[in-house]
Structure 1
Amino acid sequence: MSEQSNQVIAEGVDDEPVESNRRLFEGRAYLVVAIMAGIYAFFHMAALNGLSISATTGVTIPFLPTFPMETWNFRIVHIAGALILGFTLFSARAFPDEEPGGASKLLDLLAFAGMLPALYALWQAFDIAGQISDGTMWNGIAEEFVTQETWHFGVPLLAATGIGIVLGWLRTRTRGRIVPADILLSICAVAVAVYLITIYGTLMRNSTGTPFAPIGISLAAVAGVALIMELTRRVAGMALIVIAAVFLTYVFVGESLPGFLNAPDIAWTRFFSQVYTDAGILGPTTAVSSTYIILFIIFAAFLQASKVGDYFVNFAFAAAGRARGGPAKVAIFASGLMGMINGTSAGNVVATGSLTIPLMKKVGYHKKTAGAVEAAASTGGQIMPPIMGAGAFIMAEITGIPYTDIAIAAIIPAILYFASIYFMVDFEAAKLGMRGMREDELPKFRDMVRRVFLFLPIIILIGALFMGYSVIRAGTLATASAAVVSWFTPYRMGPRSVSKAFEIAGVMSIQIIAVCACAGIIVGVISLTGVGARFSAVLLGIADASQLLALFFAMCIAILLGMGMPTTAAYAVAASVVAPGLVQLGIPMLTAHFFVFYFAVVSAITPPVALASYAAAGISGSNPMETSVASFKIGISAFIVPFMFFYNGAILMDGAWYEIARAGVTAVIGVFFLSSGMQGWFAGRAVGWAMRLGLVLAALCMIAGGLLTDVIGVALAVGLWFAQKALGGSAPVTPATPVADERG
C-alpha cells in the first residue's frame, strides 16, 4: 500500500507471502527452480487441453509423452512433480537467523550416503520397466520377482526415504541453498513414480488389494505415503498430518476397537497396495487437484502477474470506502473476490488483510473485530460461486452432479453469508458512530470504472461455463483473456510475464497438491476399512430419535474434521465420512454435500482451531482466541443456513422460480434480523437482551422459509419495531475515536 496525497492505493495484494521455511534463491539456482516450476505448471495446461508437443513445434521429442496422458500416469506424475518442487522450495524446518554449526557437514555426508540406496532403487525401477517392455510377464508371486522388488527396490527405497526425512529435520541452512537430504527425498519421489507408472501400465493394476499384488507396490506406497505426509507437514502444518496418522493407525488397530469403530483385520501389504490407487491417493482429491484446481491456480497466477488483484481491492475501496466503517465493507467485497479464486482462507487473509485490517483499526474498529471481519470475509470466498475456492470442482467429482448446477445452487447461500457479514459490520459501525473514509483517501471511482474491463477474465469464465464449455476449456479461455486484458494496463504481459505466471502457478500449487494427496490417504482408509458406512449407520440410529439431532451431530463431525486443515482437504475428508450418512437419511445428494461443505469451510473461523482467525490475529495484533470467537459471531449465519437446506430446498435453487425468489428474499430479511439481534442494534438504536432474543427468533422464522414461519417472523419483527419506537430504545453508544494510522 502506498500513500499519495493521503490516498489509499492497494499495491502488492498479488505478492506471495514468504513462509518461514520457504527457500529464496538467487542467480542460477533461482533460474533452475523457476524453470522447474514453470514447466510443471505448463505441463498440466498442455496435458489438460490434449495438446501434443510435436503438433505445436513440428518436432517429435523423444521420451516425452504424447498428450493427453493415461489418467493414472498423469496423476502419479502430478504428485511426483509436486514432491520434487516442494522438497526443493520448502525446508523441513523454519530457517534460523544464523548459519548452523559444523555438525551439518556430517549430516550432509550421511545424506550423500543415503543417495546410494535411493539411486539403486531408482535403477531397479528402470530395470523392472525394461524387463516388462522386453516382454517379461511380471507378477507378484514368482520368487525372482519378489526378491528383486523387496530387497533390490523396496528396502533400499524405504531406507533412503527414512534417512532423508530424519536428516531433513536435523539439518537447516540459509534460504538460498538446498540441503542434500531434500535432494535425496526428490530422488525417492522419482523412484516411486517410475515404479508405479511401470507396474500400473500392465495388468498388475487390477491386482491391487489382493494377494497377487506385487510386493513392490506396497513398498513403493509406504515410501510415497511417507513423502506425501512429510511435504504436507512442511507446507500445511501438523493438523492434517495428525489426522492422517490417526486414520492410518486405525487401519491396524481397528480390529481391537469396540462398537461401530471395529474394523476387519487388514494386512499391511493389502492396504498399501491399494492406498496408492484411485481408491485412495490417486482418487477424487488428486483427480481434482490434477485438473481443475491446478488449472485455476494457473488462472489466479495470470491474474496475479497482471496485477488484477490490486485492481479488485482498489475497486472495492472506490465502491464501498465511503460507507460508515468503510474499510470493513471493502474487506467483505475484496476478500470475497480474492478468496473465491485463491482457494485458501488463511492465505487470503494474509493477502488482503495486510491492507484492510490496519485501515479498519484506523476508523475505529477494535483490533479483535478488524481481524474477525477479515477472517470471516476471506472464509466466505470459499463459498462464492462460480469458483468457490475449488470446492465446487471436488463436489462435482465426488457426487457426479454437473459443476454448473453446483455453482447455481451456491448463489443464495453465498448472498446470505455476505449479507450477514455486511449487516454485522454495518451495525457495529453504527453502534460506534464510525465514519467512512474521505474522498481524498480513496481511489477515484471514475478511474476504476475506466478499467472495469479487468473483470473480463472472470466474466469470460462464467460465460463459458454456462454456455456449455468444459471447465478445462473455460478455465483456459479465462487464463488467456487475463493475459490479453493486461495489454491495456501498465502491466502488459509478454513472454517473460507469461513465463513468470507459470512459475508462480507451479509454486502456488505445491501446498494444495500435497494437501489433496494427504487427504487421499484418509479417504483411502475410510473406503478400505468401511468406517464411513458404519458412521452412516450411527447417523441413522440417531435420526430415529431426531433428524435435527443427527444433523447437529454431522455438523460437529464436519467441523472437527476440518479444524486446522485447508478447505479442500477438510471438505474431501468430511464428505467421505459424513455425507454418505446424510444421503442415507433421505437428504438429496446436493443438499447433503452442501451441508458438509459449508461446515468444512467455516471450520476456518470456528474456535478453538481457526486458521483464518489466527492469521488475521497475527496481522491485527489481537488475541487469537478472542479473534476466533469474534469471527465465529460475525459468520454466525453460516452455522444456521445449512440446516435450512434440509427444510427448504429452494435456498439451493430447487423449486419453482417464485418459491426460490420468496426463499431468497425472506432469508435475506432473516439474516438482517439475525445480525441485528447479535449486534444489539435495531431501528437506529441499541437494544437490550429481551429485544435481541426476539430478533433472533424472528430471524430463525424468516430463514426457515415456510409460508407460516415467514408470516410469524414478519409479525414478530413488526411488533418488536413498534415496541422499540414506543419504549424509545437505549441511547446510542458513544462514537469511537479513530486510532492513529498504523501503517507508519
Structure 2
Amino acid sequence: MKDDKPQDQTIDLEEIIRQYDTESQYRTLSGWQNAFIVAVACAMSLFHLYTAGFGLLLAMKQRAVHLAFVLFLTFLLYPATKKSPTNKIPWYDFILACAAAYTTLYIVIHFNQLITRAGLPTTMDILVGFLGIALLLEATRRVSNPVLPILAIISLVYCYYGRYFPSLFAHRGFNIPRIINHMYLGTEGVFGVPISVSATFVFMFILFGSILQETGMGKFIIDLALAIAGRSTGGPAKVAVLSSAIMGTISGSSVANVCTTGTFTIPLMKSIGYKPYFAGAVEAVASTGGQIMPPVMGAAAFIMAEFLGVPYIKVALAAIVPALLYYAAVMVQVHLEATRLGLLGLPKERLPRLWSLLKSKGHLLIPLFAIIYFLVGGYTPMKAAYYGILTTIAVSFISKDTRLTLPKLINGLVNGARGSLGVACACGTVGIIVGMATLTGLGLRIASLIITISGGNLIVTLLLTMVTCILLGAGLPTTANFIVTSTIAAPALLQLGVAPMAAYMFVLYFGIAADLSPPVALAAYAGAGIAGADAMKTGITAVKLALAGFLVPFIYVMNPMLVLVNATPLPFIQAIVTAMIGVFLLGMSTIGYFKTHIPFWLRVVVFCGALGLLKPGIYSDAFGLAVLIFTYFFQKRRAKRQ
C-alpha cells in the first residue's frame, strides 16, 4: 500500500484554487506594495475587532467604513482583466481604489447633513452615489464574475423603465435621483441588511476561522479524522467526510474546504482503490456540506437570521438535524461503495493515536466550544466570534507547535480581511437587487406568478424554487444566491403556509447545491482537478452522493419539526430515527449495493421506501420499514447463494 501522505503530484494546487475559486485570483505582490496591502488588511481586521469588542459605530457609518476597506483592497488586489499585471498594482487601480473609498466614506464625512436632508439629495449626493454604485459593480465583477453585476444593472434598468414592462411586472418607473437615493443614500439598497451582516457577524467569523487556521487547526482536523475513521472499511473516504464536516464548522467556503482537506484525502482515497472521479466527488460533497454545518455556517446563515428576525443560534440549532442527515447519507454511500469494491481501511501503524493527538493538540477544539458556549449564552454572533478569537490566541500558547507568533497572527489578520472581500462585494451588490424588489414590489409579484404557475400546489412550487436556486447558483456565490432567491422565491413558499424557518432553509440548501450541480459545479470541479479526474463525471457523481441533500429540504418543509418548528420530544425523536433509516435506504438505492448487488427493480422499491421513511406519517413509515426488512432478508439470501 502506498504511503498515506499526498504523493508527488503533477497537479498545481494553487492553480486549481485560482481556477475554481475566483476569490483566490488576487495579485501576488512584493516589496513596498505588499507591505502596504498587509498594513491596510491588518487595519481592516483590527477595526472590526475593536468595534466588536468595544462597540459598533452608528449602523450606516459601520457599514460605510467596512465597504470602504473592502473596495479599496479589492481594486488593489484583483486585476481588471486577464492581461492586467498580477505582480504589481498599476497606477489606475490606485486611483480607482481611492475613488471607491471616497464614495463610501462620503457617507461618514457628511453623515449629519445626509440625515438632515433625507429624501432630498443634492447634485453632489447623486454624483457620489452614481460613482459609488458603478465602482461597487466593477469591484464585484473583479472578485467574483460578471453575473451578479449584470443582474444588479438589470435591476436598476427595471427601476427606471418599469412602465414599459409587461403588465404583470409593470410599475410607474422612478427617476435617477430617486433610484440612487434609495439604493445608496439609505439602508434599503447597498447599505441594507446584507452589508450590515457582512460588516459585523460574517467578517468576525471569517477572521475567527483565519486565525484558528494559523494554529495548525487544518492538519489537526485531518489527523483527528484519521484517528477516528482511518481503520474502518473504506477509511480514507470516511476520513474525507469527517474531516470536511469538522472543517465546515469553522469555514463556510465549499471550494476552500475542498482544497484544504482534499489535497490530503483525495490521494489517500485513490491509494486504496477508489476511482479518481469518486474520490473527487466525495470530497466535494463533504466540503459543500460545511456551509450548513453548525456552529459556524456559511455567510448566508447569518443573513437568514436577520431576515427571520431571530437570534443566529436558532438558525444554527435548526440546521443540526438537516446537516446530520446530509452527512449520514454521504457516509452511508461511502461505506457501501467501499464494501462493494472490497476496499479496506488503513493499517493501525499508519494512523495517529487518538489519545496522543488529543493530548498534544486537543486544546485547539476549545475555541469551537467557546463559540458554542457564547452563542447559547445569549451573546450576539459578533461578540461570540470576538471572544472566540481571543480564546484562540490564548489557547494557542498551550503548546509550542500551535503558538500564534506575531508573523502568524499578522498572516491571520491579512487572510481574514482578504477572505471577506468576495462576500462583502456580493452583499453590497445584491443589496441593489433587494432594493429593487422593495422599491418596485417585484418580490410579491413573482411570488404570485410562481403560485399561479404551480396552481397553488406546494410540491410544484418547491420544485420551481429548487430549479430557480440551482440556476442562479450557476453564476452567483452562495450568499448572493440565497439573498436573491429568498427575496424573490421564498415569499411564494410563505404564501402557501410553509414555516418561515423551513422556507428559508430550503432556499439555503439549494443555493449551496449549485456548488455540486453541473454545468457550473465549482466544488466538484476543484475536487476533480485535485483527483486528476473528468470534471463532468465528478460533478454527476457528486450529485448522486448528495441526493439526500436534495431530498431532505422537501422533507423538513413537509415536517418542519426537523428544523425545530413546534418540535415535541417523542414525535421529534421518531422523525429523526425514521429519517436516518430513510437516508440509509436512499444510500442503498443510489449505490445499488447491500451485502451484494441490488437488482434494478429492487433499487426502485428501495428508493420508494426511502421516500416513505423521509415523509412523515404512520403509513408511509410502515411502508418504508417493510421495504427495509424485505430488502435485508432478500439481499442476505442472495449473498448467501452467491
Fold-level similarity (TM above 0.5): yes
- Give yes or no for contact 2:592–2:599 (8 Å, CA) kept in 1: yes
Separation (CA, whole Å) in 1 of partners of 2:521 and 2:149: 17
1:674 lines up with 2:586 in the alignment: yes
Separation (CA, whole Å) in 2 of partners of 1:337 and 1:266: 49
1:561 lines up with 2:469 in the alignment: no
- Give yes or no for contact 1:487–1:493 (8 Å, CA) kept in 2: yes
Offset at residue 20 of structure 1 (A): 7.0
- Give yes or no for contact 1:686–1:729 (8 Å, CA) kept in 2: no
Offset at residue 543 of structure 1 (A): 5.1
Offset at residue 729 of structure 1 (A): 8.1
Offset at residue 288 of structure 1 (A): 0.7
2:85 pairs, out of 173, 194, 197, with: 173
Partner of 1:314: 223
Q: 1:446-467 CA deviation, whole Å, 9 max, x = no partner?
A: 3212122211100110011112
2:69 pairs, out of 81, 89, 111, with: 81
Aligned residue type for 2:626: A
2:492 pairs, out of 578, 581, 594, with: 581
- Give yes or no for contact 2:5–2:268 (8 Å, CA) kept in 1: no
Q: Structure 1 residues 9, 678: closer, same or farther in 2, change over 3 A?
A: closer
Separation (CA, whole Å) in 2 of partners of 1:627 and 1:245: 34
- Give yes or no for contact 2:205–2:382 (8 Å, CA) kept in 1: no
* TM superposition score normalised by structure 1: 0.80
The equivalences for 1:240-639 within 5 A come to: 240-276=148-184, 277-450=186-359, 451-489=361-399, 490-542=401-453, 544-639=455-550
Aligned residue type for 1:384: M
> Greater shift after overlay, 598-607 or 411-420?
598-607
Q: Structure 1 residues 360, 207: closer, same or farther in 2, change over 3 A?
A: same
Q: Structure 1 residues 362, 625: closer, same or farther in 2, change over 3 A?
A: same
Q: 1:250-273 CA deviation, whole Å, 9 max, x = no partner?
A: 334443332533343222222122
Separation (CA, whole Å) in 2 of partners of 1:370 and 1:242: 36
Offset at residue 613 of structure 1 (A): 1.3
Offset at residue 496 of structure 1 (A): 4.0
Partner of 1:604, secondary structure, is: coil
Offset at residue 727 of structure 1 (A): 4.4
Aligned residue type for 1:397: E
Aligned residue type for 2:374: A
- Give yes or no for contact 2:525–2:539 (8 Å, CA) kept in 1: yes
Separation (CA, whole Å) in 2 of partners of 1:588 and 1:339: 26
- Give yes or no for contact 2:254–2:288 (8 Å, CA) kept in 1: yes
Separation (CA, whole Å) in 2 of partners of 1:403 and 1:698: 35
Partner of 1:233: 141
Aligned residue type for 2:73: L
- Give yes or no for contact 1:252–1:265 (8 Å, CA) kept in 2: yes
Q: Structure 1 residues 194, 476: closer, same or farther in 2, change over 3 A?
A: closer
Q: 1:128-160 CA deviation, whole Å, 9 max, x = no partner?
A: xxxxxxxxxxxxxxxxxxxxxxxxxxxxxxxxx
Partner of 1:675, secondary structure, is: helix
1:22 lines up with 2:26 in the alignment: yes
Q: Structure 1 residues 375, 241: closer, same or farther in 2, change over 3 A?
A: farther
> Greater shift after overlay, 719-728 or 441-450?
719-728
Offset at residue 445 of structure 1 (A): 2.5
Aligned residue type for 1:257: F
- Give yes or no for contact 2:42–2:410 (8 Å, CA) kept in 1: yes
Offset at residue 191 of structure 1 (A): 2.4
1:658 lines up with 2:561 in the alignment: no
Separation (CA, whole Å) in 1 of partners of 2:522 and 2:640: 38
Structure whose alpha-carbon radius of gyration is higher? 1
> Greater shift after overlay, 80-89 or 542-551?
542-551
Partner of 2:48: 44
Unaligned runs of 5+ in 1: 52-67, 95-170, 732-744
- Give yes or no for contact 1:340–1:389 (8 Å, CA) kept in 2: no
Aligned residue type for 1:462: I
Separation (CA, whole Å) in 1 of partners of 2:4 and 2:381: 40
Partner of 2:607, secondary structure, is: helix
Q: 1:537-567 CA deviation, whole Å, 9 max, x = no partner?
A: 1233245442211121111112222223222
- Give yes or no for contact 2:251–2:296 (8 Å, CA) kept in 1: no
> Greater shift after overlay, 382-391 or 232-241?
232-241
Q: Structure 1 residues 413, 20: closer, same or farther in 2, change over 3 A?
A: closer
Aligned residue type for 1:88: L
- Give yes or no for contact 2:26–2:86 (8 Å, CA) kept in 1: no
Aligned residue type for 2:68: A
Aligned residue type for 1:34: V
Unaligned runs of 5+ in 2: 8-12
> Greater shift after overlay, 190-199 or 584-593?
190-199
Q: Structure 1 residues 244, 331: closer, same or farther in 2, change over 3 A?
A: farther
> Greater shift after overlay, 216-225 or 41-50?
216-225
Q: Structure 1 residues 336, 253: closer, same or farther in 2, change over 3 A?
A: farther
Partner of 1:510, secondary structure, is: helix
Aligned residue type for 2:317: I
1:91 lines up with 2:3 in the alignment: no
Q: Structure 1 residues 513, 604: closer, same or farther in 2, change over 3 A?
A: same
Q: Structure 1 residues 643, 7: closer, same or farther in 2, change over 3 A?
A: closer
Q: 1:291-349 CA deviation, whole Å, 9 max, x = no partner?
A: 00100111012111211122111111221122222221111111122233222111221
Task: Tell me the number of residue pairs that the alignment of Structure 1 and Structure 2 aligns.
Answer: 629
- Give yes or no for contact 2:612–2:623 (8 Å, CA) kept in 1: yes
Separation (CA, whole Å) in 2 of partners of 1:719 and 1:704: 19
Q: 1:47-95 CA deviation, whole Å, 9 max, x = no partner?
A: 12225xxxxxxxxxxxxxxxx321101101111111111111221234x
Q: 1:430-458 CA deviation, whole Å, 9 max, x = no partner?
A: 11111112223333323212122211100
Query: Relative CO higher for 1 or 2, CA cutoff 8 Å, sep ≥ 6?
Result: 2
* TM superposition score normalised by structure 2: 0.93
Q: 1:342-372 CA deviation, whole Å, 9 max, x = no partner?
A: 2211122122212212222222121111111
Q: Structure 1 residues 240, 626: closer, same or farther in 2, change over 3 A?
A: farther
Partner of 2:553: 642
Partner of 2:633: 722
> Greater shift after overlay, 282-291 or 647-656?
647-656
> Greater shift after overlay, 568-577 or 19-28?
19-28
Q: 1:171-191 CA deviation, whole Å, 9 max, x = no partner?
A: 62351x210110010121122
Separation (CA, whole Å) in 1 of partners of 2:367 and 2:149: 36
The equivalences for 1:145-156 within 5 A come to: none
Q: Structure 1 residues 432, 646: closer, same or farther in 2, change over 3 A?
A: same
Offset at residue 728 of structure 1 (A): 4.5
Offset at residue 724 of structure 1 (A): 2.8
Offset at residue 614 of structure 1 (A): 1.8
Offset at residue 391 of structure 1 (A): 2.7
Aligned residue type for 2:579: A
- Give yes or no for contact 1:297–1:342 (8 Å, CA) kept in 2: yes
Separation (CA, whole Å) in 1 of partners of 2:442 and 2:499: 22
Percent sequence identity is 34
Separation (CA, whole Å) in 1 of partners of 2:6 and 2:520: 33
